[in-house]
Amino acid sequence: MPIRTHSHLLLLLPVLMMLAMMGCVNGTSERDRKPLPDTLIVGTLYSPTSFFILHDDTLGYDHDRICDFARSKGINLKWVVARNITHLIRLLQADSVQVLAYEIPITAEYKQQVHSCGAVNETFQVLIQPTGDSLITDVTQLIGRDIYVERGTKYESRLRNLDSELGGGIKIHSLTPDTLMPEDLIEMVSKKEIPLTIVDSDIAQLNHTYFDDIDISLRVSFAQRSAWAVNLNNKWLGDSIDAWAKSRNAQAYSKVALQRYFELSKSEQKQLADTMPVTPEGALSPFDEIFQKYGKQSNIDWRLLAAISYVESRFDPRVVSWAGARGIMQLMPKTAKAYGVEMDQITDPEASVQAAVKSLLDLYALFEPRIENEAQRTKFVLASYNAGMGHVLDAIELAKKYELDPQVWEGNVEEAILWKSNPQYYNDPVCRSGYCRGKETVNYVVDVEQRYNYYLNNFEEKDEKEEKAYKGKKRKHHSKH
């Protein structure tokens, strides 16, 4: 019997081979792929760029992007915050976490420990200098210049290597204060207290949103590539993240997140398209009646509510902060919802004040057993309204640990919250809420108290005003008789 050949199968063979090859991406075949879990366990580190807590809400460039990945896949996230990058990688290798939503350097050392995935980020060390006509545009112009860096950091190492490459002449000043951070040196350049410093480009971009009078354009090092990572045994998960990162929707979302954290000014607030209310003549604000109503109900001085509103929004219901806070009391959507205010109500002045008062009352209740002095207690409440109570509680614990007075704000807990921009302190075991840009909180308390004192001296309580008016009429009546 002659052997019958199936010619149609022979014709399909190249196609089948191609499909088999396409089913293998980065060495992962379709049969090796696994379905995504219902809950993805994410490892990260506290930092000003990747993951941090503000107003008791979680934020950060890497945080927002991994949340977008989870939404696109219909899965939940569980967060595990490690102490440092070594601890983070150990958690991944032990399968205690499944993905690292933190930029791990792509180096020969780390390639042996993790599998990189997602969008690749490039950072450089850059020169921080004041803006102006005499910008340094080439590293050779650093010869003879004074540059300040913190002692023992990678920035000092890079400067000394660069100095050697140029044949010497850079005046390197190594500073030793324990709590000094790159952000502090950037601010010192902005204030012209020092002429120059160098930091990583992502830190430079972030701080440029706070200080628009600095230039960050000159690179002084080669690029360092970094990306998220998964376990070497879980390349299938990395493939899923890679595919998401290359999608048009993910790239568009990442662009928005990049603008939010690294481009939008943190000192300015964008406005919605409504009309700004007018302040009546002789009034403190357009919303005096609202402040007085809820001040009386809560036993919080209405002028303090007004002072908070002024510092938060300048009484403008239209403004939206870079972090997403809205309305005259600048409530985060999550906070507003917790106090019964939905997103479509958040810019309503009365709803904003009502929710803010509930939040303030909860904070007063929290600190009443902790802070004996009433005036001091208000400072702690204001700090918590700005940064979130977790950061203030952390600062109290740091104050205790380092023998400061945990019941006094000025020079004590105030000092401790400033430390929370330093990894040495925000990774301390007594801290639970991680990184905090404490200088903003310190300035916020000062600004609200100054505004409140001004209102105390210039605007009376409604009852006081009515009582004075009544006494005035009574005096006129007696004078006629």
pLDDT in tens, 127-150: 999 999 899 999 999 999 999 999
Identify which of 191, 202, 103, 101 has the alpha carbon closest to the alpha carbon of residue 439: 191
Give start-end residues of each CATH 3.40.190.10 domain in the chain.
Answer: 21-120+226-262, 125-222
Give start-end residues of each CATH 1.10.530.10 domain in the chain.
Answer: 270-462
Radius of gyration of the chain (CA): 28
pLDDT in tens, 152-181: 999 999 999 999 999 999 999 999 866 788
At 163, give phi and psi (nearest 5°): -60, -40
Q: What is the CATH number of domain 125-222?
A: 3.40.190.10
CATH class, range 270-462: mainly alpha
Please give the mean pLDDT across all residues of the chain: 89
Over range 446-456, report the average pLDDT.
97
Q: For the chain, give me the number of helices (H) and strands (E)?
A: 19, 14
pLDDT in tens, 283-309: 999 999 999 999 999 999 999 999 999
CATH class, range 21-120+226-262: alpha beta
Over range 76-94, report the average pLDDT.
97
| pLDDT classification of 267: cutoffs 50, 70, 90 | confident
Q: Return the pLDDT at 479.
A: 43
Per-residue tokens: 16: 């089948």
Give me the residue label for tokens 């006629």. Answer: 480
- Burial state string for 10-36 with b = 16 or more CB within 10 A and e = fewer than 16: eeeeeeeeeeeeeeebeebeeeeeeeb
pLDDT in tens, 207-235: 999 999 999 999 999 999 999 999 999 99
* pLDDT at 3 > cutoff 90: no
Per-residue tokens: 291: 């402040």
Pairing of strands 214-215, 197-200: unpaired
* pLDDT at 331 > cutoff 90: yes
Rounded CA-CA distance 383/440 in Å is: 9
478 three-class SS: helix
pTM value?
Answer: 0.84
Per-residue tokens: 132: 């102006």
Q: Which range is least confidently modeled, 15-24, 43-52, 428-437? A: 15-24
pLDDT in tens, 29-69: 444 567 899 999 999 999 999 999 998 899 999 999 999 99
- In DSSP notation, 62-110 reads HHHHHHHHHHHHT-EEEEEE-SSHHHHHHHHHTTS-SEEEEEEE-SHHH
Over range 381-387, report the average pLDDT.
98
Q: Which range is least confidently modeled, 16-30, 91-105, 390-404, 449-463? A: 16-30
Rounded CA-CA distance 24/205 in Å is: 39
Per-residue tokens: 161: 């290597």
Over range 373-380, report the average pLDDT.
98
Q: Return the pLDDT at 197.
A: 98
Per-residue tokens: 88: 């983070």
Which comes out higher in pLDDT, residue 468 or 177? Answer: 177
Per-residue tokens: 159: 């400067």
Percent of the chain with pLDDT over 70: 87
- In DSSP notation, 18-54 reads HHHHHT-BTTB-GGG--PPPSEEEEEE--BTTTBEEE
Q: Return the pLDDT at 181.
A: 87
Hey, which residues does 128 pair with through a beta bridge?
197
